[in-house]
A = this chain, B = another copy of it.
Amino acid sequence: MADSTERTFAEPNEEIMRATHRALRNYGYADLTIKRIAEEYGKSTAAVHYYYETKDDLLVAFLDYLLGQFVDSIEDVETADPERRLELLLDELLVEPGENQDLLVAVLEMRSQTPFEEAFRERFHRNDEYIRDMLEAVIDRGIDEGVFDDVDADHVSRVLMTIVDGSHSRAVVQGETDPLSAGRRAADEFTTAVLLDDQ
């Protein structure tokens, strides 16, 4: 299915993606079926299968869709100031997800399946790399402009993603958004300590 993967990455079926989101919210990952997604979509399972051959194909497209939404929200962040831009990226990663606790749950379930689902693993890797690249770019720009210390930007981006992934995991287990606030504060403390130490 190389063709359809290509097509769905370029242009996911928005309505099916939104139906998948609703079905995940209502049933969770473990009880998700194409039938339930089709019900939310308001069409037949055949109509879903026309776009996505298997449930896994659909979920991989859904992971792409989530990254796409994140990228869209980031592109709205128009400031060129590295400090401000880093703040806004961290807000998108650690504050916004509090609005969609059910997505955090579904994504953690998919993350836990990566050892058994090659396609999920590949997507999580790529998405992680994409977001780390964005973080690294803004840190590098800050270093170039002399507003950040000359740090190992690759390592700092990994630490920030570790705080993000840990906060998301803890928010799921605790069933509340406090871990996101603690993570947001930790990200600030960490970046202040390593990026602004000599400033």
Contacts and interface: CB of A to CB of B under 8 A. Distances in A.
Identical subunits present: 2
Contact of A190 (B29, B179, B189, B197): B189
Q: A interface, by DSSP: helix, strand, loop or mixed?
A: helix
B172 A112 contact: yes
B173 A124 contact: yes
Interface in A62-108: 105, 108
Nearest to A106: B112
Nearest to A159: B186
Contact of A114 (B173, B189, B190): B173
Interface string A141-158: 000000000000001001
Contact of A162 (B109, B182, B197): B182
Interface of A: 28-30, 105, 108-109, 111-116, 121, 124-125, 128, 155, 158-159, 161-170, 172-175, 179, 182-183, 185-186, 189-190, 193-194, 197
